[in-house]
Amino acid sequence: MKIMNIKEEIIKLSQEIGISKIGFTTADDFDYLEKSLRASQEEGRSSGFEHKNIEERIRPKLSLESAKTIISIAVAYPRHLPVKPQKTQYKRGKITPNSWGLDYHYILQDKMERLARGIEKLTDGLEYKAMVDTGALVDTAVARRAGIGFIGKNGLVISKEFGSYMFLGELVTNLDIEPDQPVDYDCGDCNRCVAACPTSCLLGDTTMNARRCLSFQTQDKGMMDLEFRKKIKTVIYGCDICQICCPYNKGISSPPVVEIDPDLAEPELIPFLDLSNGQFKEKFGMIAGSWRGKNILQRNAIIALANSNDRSAIPKLLEIIDKKQNPIHMATAIWALGQLVKQPNEEMIAFIAGLSSDNDDVLAEQAAFLNMVKDLQM
């Protein structure tokens, strides 16, 4: 069966599935991306989380030999919590909106599979490959060319209808469909996101030094560099400062795609540090931010406790240091202790001075703490 107005039927189908915006583009190569992708890789500006093969990133036919049309989809998500968590005795950390509720990779894969199933009923011999941001193609470039929105100076796709709070995915298909045109609006002279970024990671031309992005810093392994610790404030996963200040997001907050638990979006920090691997997986395992595992997010929670000036966390920090179970947690806790205790007593000084470790991070933070004490005593 071949339907003449298949494009209209696919658009209608996408609306029934709960896809916020859909666009169509050719499966032509994205040659213009090659120079910037190689420069980013060679200059050490890429996060390392991207697909490694640049040829596959710019040539859709390497993903699907019969590719003719790429269907780009966007699913808008809320920027404000529908319900705030209840106040308790504990201070809370923040997880950014793109990681509220069920992991968006599952949401998009489900919607794209449903879309593909529906298209199969409309036409014969559909061949397709579904991708989210873990796939080969650069989904922002696909979305821009398919008319979903433009790529802002913050590197995100922005649309008039949904701002930048959109999850993106694409179906590379063998269908022959008239392509859409890119949108006719952009950032103009606005430079708010570039100016607002606390780490100056945005280069102002839609590219960035991803390794300086606070979102990357909350996901990177090892010790967080001193430069970034106070800048994450109480965010334990992600960063959306460049979205909060964007005029296109003003007045927009889309409804939730799935149910959002406010206690997972803004978790209590001290109880978060007590979670075992099993408890973490059970409670947080289905959110996008869980992919980095418990230990990195707990490191961030220790930093968040210092940044929220939560002196009730001091016993927990001393316990983490004393147990010596995780050298990164131990070293970060020594730093946090130095932030929270401006005048440490003799007992605390002796405790830190008496620590033994063969870990360089622990030794560095121990030395920094004792140097702070020495400066106070002068």
Concatenating the DSSP letter of every residue in 309-374 gives T-GGGHHHHHHHHHH-S-HHHHHHHHHHHHHH-SS--HHHHHHHHT-----HHHHHHHHHHHHHHH
- Token pair for 96: 């950014």
The single residue of 28, 29, 103, 133 carrying the catalytic annotation is 133
Residue type at 356 in one-letter notation: S
Active site residue 133: yes
Which three-class secondary structure state does DSSP give residue 251? coil
- Tell me if 239 sits within 8 A of 156, measured CB to CB: no
Using the 8-state DSSP alphabet, how is residue 213 labeled? S
Residue whose entry in the numeric block shows the structure tokens 């061949």: 127
Cα 303 to chain centroid distance, Å, stands at 18
Alpha helices in 123-247 (DSSP H): 139-145, 192-196, 214-217, 226-229, 241-244
CA distances from 312 to 26, 323, 341 (A): 57, 19, 11
Q: Which residues are catalytic?
A: 133
